[in-house]
Chains A and B, each alone.
Chain A
Amino acid sequence: MRKVFERVGRFLDTRLMQPLRRLGQFLTHNKVLHVDHHRLRLFNRFNVPITNRRRESVIGLTFIFIWIVGYLIFALYPIFNTLYLSMFKVYFDAAEASGLRLEFQGINNYRAAFLSDPFFVQILIRYVLRLLLNVPVTIVFALVIAMLINQNIRGKGFWRTVFFFPVIISSGPVIGELMNQGATTLPSINDYRFIDLILANVGDFLANPIEALFNEILLVLWFAGIQILILLAGLQKIDKEVYEASMIDGASPWESFWKITLPSIMPLISISVVFTVVSMSVFSLNEVIVYIRNIILTESTPALTTGYGYSATLSWIYFVVMSLIILLFVGLISWRRKVTE
């Protein structure tokens, strides 16, 4: 066995490493580029001194090189390509070189999305209202649960496991099936009439999202798994002595929550909010996403839309709306922070 290893090692050394080393030597010691310990020589003429700082930059950039390439290919190019396509009517056409036939539309696609699409604006408004309602609920629940687990209770690990569980198993079809069968709404909530009471007392505009919230309360809570862990980690990092000191000064638990706990985990709450908005927005059963997807796959073909290009338009509008919501929430949080300070 040892002999085999030795042989493999010798083979790698002589046959593989040797040429590689020679190649490396050639690449760094030639007429065009000559690398010394302290300087870099280009075309045998221009000297560039190698400082520690420059060396570090080059090494660092080498490590993230793959990310830069990936970003250009899989993030930057598609984003701008989508923006470009969103101004065209796009048809599939085998005759063209790119496989697409483009017809310039300017901002007509955007106009169509807001003015003549019978569904999109409605769906978008419903999504925004829901998000405005669901995000605070999720965050409050996550905070409550995190604080509960952070108490001195038995079976901490068990409870953390229970509350993190949904993160593992939630996938589109599974949740879709549960929704279809009505398992995402608690039967006992429907038994009490208080939802009807709420619905009767506020306008339609607010009542619909509230009703949706209660119908999917479990779904909303299921989105809180990671947020619970993030907030819990934050809670555990607060120094216990601060609480003790405040208690000696006569602060009630209620006061120390508002004056100590909340301010110290505020940054984590912002992170959780961003996470919640993003994960709810890219969730594959989200109405807007389903709508956009159906247009791409042309499973629904309203005559007025222009397929490919139009769905690019919708994606962009969706992206902007989503970013605005994130900005709104984060802005609210930091504004509050400034006020309380």
Chain B
Amino acid sequence: MNWLKRKFALLVKMFEALKDKDYDRFKKLIRRWIFGMRFTDGLLFKIAIYTLLISLGYIYMYPMLYMVTNSFMTVSDIISVSIKWIPSRLNWENYRLVWTTINYPRALRDAIMLAGLPAISATVSSALIGYGFARYQFPFKRLLFVLMIMTFIVPPQITMLPMFRMYREYNLLGSVRAFIYPAILGQGLNGAIYILIFFSFFRMIPKSLEESAQLDGAGPFKIFTRIAIPLAVPAIIIVFLFSFVWYYNETYLSGLFLRNSDLFTLPLRIERFFRDYTSIYPEGSQARELMQAAKLAGNILAILPLLILYFFTQRHFVESIDKTGITGE
């Protein structure tokens, strides 16, 4: 607002200059108006910034907008050339189709369990591990730390084959335990990142707090639960949110480990439903055309819980990284 006020004051000054027929002054003022005192507060600069932001924002949101608007379209809307963005009427049919055929409430419950339990395990374990790395000196600490970070680079394909065999041997395939066990040992999806988040967070907490607790006779574990954990609430929220979202969206490992069970992540379930559905109808039939919109509706339903979650917690998501200092200081 201040900026606008200043610009307005300048405008007034310019009029005065015009009235006094002081053209030199007017020229100077108008230059200041456009380019500003040090370029970054000039009009030109602001216009450039907002134009860039808005166009980049549009590019970012384009697929999302496309998904939302097209999911409401009827068959005739999709075929029609004149309708590109706004459907002719709000058509909930696509949503109803997906909702009933995949039994959405049950599918959602499964999906939340599949994402939630591993996310909780990952949060607990990475808090412990991150605290160990951040607070204690022990032999080979550097080596272990580097190994920990290396696990992030190893693609899941490498570990997948033996893990598949291991899980089959112990009958873990098709059960949520296939995800909980690695998570509880700090090896879950993107586990290294969570440990890193906790590591840098615990390092920021002043050591004197813990030392005074130690003087009062608290053991290491008590210090961890009573002092470190309450201070690390932001990190806990962030790690939980991130791991929840990543597990929720995970399709590669879950596609493999849960292959022959009736447990699915939501995106997988919807994908599977459509694969079955498309095989029934021949290419080019009406039902096939409807599929396009219905698929988008299905995808929206798949990410809807995340949208709601994001809507309520976006502050944590977005501030997380500078707060927890994942950036490595």
Contacts and interface: CB of A to CB of B under 8 A. Distances in A.
Interface in B254-297: 255-256, 259, 267-268, 270-271, 292, 295-296
B321 interface: yes
B53 interface: yes
B138 A60 contact: yes
Contacts of A172: 249, 251-252, 267
A282 interface: yes
A178 B252 contact: no
Contact of B302 (A58, A171, A217, A308): A171
Given A163-B57, A177-B295, A70 B187 contact: yes
A160 interface: yes
A75 B132 contact: no
A274 interface: yes
A201 interface: no
Interface in A146-175: 148-149, 151-153, 157, 159-174
B165 interface: yes
Interface residues of A, number: 97
Nearest to A252: B39
A129 B108 CA distance: 39
Interface string B1-20: 00100000000000000000
A183 B321 contact: no
B132 A161 contact: no
Nearest to A100: B165
Contacts of B299: 173-174, 177-178
B252 A293 contact: yes
Interface string A266-306: 01100100100010011010000100110011000000000
A156 to B, nearest CB: 10
The secondary-structure label for the interface of chain A is helix
B80 interface: no
B186 A70 contact: yes
A319 B158 contact: yes
A131 interface: no
Contacts of B137: 53, 56-57, 60
A75 B187 contact: yes
B83 interface: no
A59 interface: yes
B136 A59 contact: yes
Contacts of B156: 282
- Interface secondary structure of B, over-half rule: helix
B291 to A, nearest CB: 10
A339 to B, nearest CB: 23
B215 interface: no
A85 interface: yes
Q: Report the interface size class on chain B.
A: 35 or more
A144 B152 CA distance: 26
A142 to B, nearest CB: 11
B318 A292 contact: no
Interface stretch (B59-67, B95-103, B229-237): B59-67
B144 interface: yes
A171 B125 CA distance: 25
A184 interface: yes
Contact of B321 (A145, A151, A166, A233): A233
A150 to B, nearest CB: 11
B147 interface: yes
**Which residue, B160, B164, B195, B327, has most C-beta atoms of chain A within 10 A?**
B327
Contacts of B296: 177, 181
Contact of A151 (B40, B138, B326): B40
B46 to A, nearest CB: 8
Contacts of B218: none
Contact of A278 (B40, B152, B185, B270): B152
Contact of A284 (B128, B168, B251, B270): B251
A79 B251 contact: no
Interface string A49-68: 00001001111111110111
A137 interface: no
B153 A56 contact: no
Given A56-B137, A60-B137, A168 B153 contact: no
A34 to B, nearest CB: 19
Nearest to A181: B292
B131 interface: yes
B251 A173 contact: yes
A74 B185 contact: yes
Nearest to B151: A75
Given A162-B61, A183-B62, A278-B152, A289 B321 contact: no
A82 B166 CA distance: 12
Interface in B143-169: 144, 147-148, 151-166, 168-169
B112 interface: no
Interface string A209-249: 00000000110011000100110111011000000000100
Given A63-B220, A173-B302, A181-B70, 15 more contacts: A64-B128, A78-B161, A82-B158, A148-B49, A166-B60, A168-B303, A171-B267, A173-B251, A173-B268, A174-B303, A181-B292, A229-B321, A237-B327, A237-B329, A289-B157
7 contacts: A53-B137, A64-B132, A70-B125, A100-B165, A171-B248, A171-B250, A278-B155
What are the 4 closest A-B residue pairs judged by CB atoms, nearest first? A60-B136, A70-B185, A63-B132, A171-B249
